Amino acid sequence: MAQSLQAKKRAKQNTKSRTTNRARKSQIKTQIKHFETAVSEGNVEAASEQYKLVVKKLDKTASTSTMHKKTAARKKSRLAKKLNALKSKKS
């Protein structure tokens, strides 16, 4: 257990940031699942709408220290590949 006041404060800050980071990551995972279900159903309109929402969430999360910018870019790229494959398959 933390003894000094500074260590106690850091412990509190760490728990607070851990809960917010977990919540943000969970929201992203949920949004990605919605996107992937739309892709698996073959619904291009719903998939493109979900893609926009996922990108927005990823950009917001990457702007904080929750996720690195390049990690968010990699996830966006992989999702865009799936969306483009679905669009080309439907055409």
3-state SS, residue 74: helix
d(CA 40, CA 46): 11
Asked if residue 81 is part of any domain, the answer here is yes
In a domain? residue 15: no
* More confident of the two residues 27 and 91: 27
| 12 is a domain residue | no
Please give the pLDDT value at position 90: 82
Q: Give the end-to-end CA distance of the chain in Å, rounded to a whole number.
A: 61
What is the span of the domain harbouring residue 83?
28-90
Return the pLDDT at 57: 97
Is 53 within the bounds of a domain? yes
* Cα–Cα dist 57/1, whole Å: 36
Q: Is residue 21 part of a domain?
A: no
In a domain, residue 38? The reply is: yes
Q: pLDDT: is 90 or 57 the higher one? A: 57
Number of structural domains the chain divides into: 1
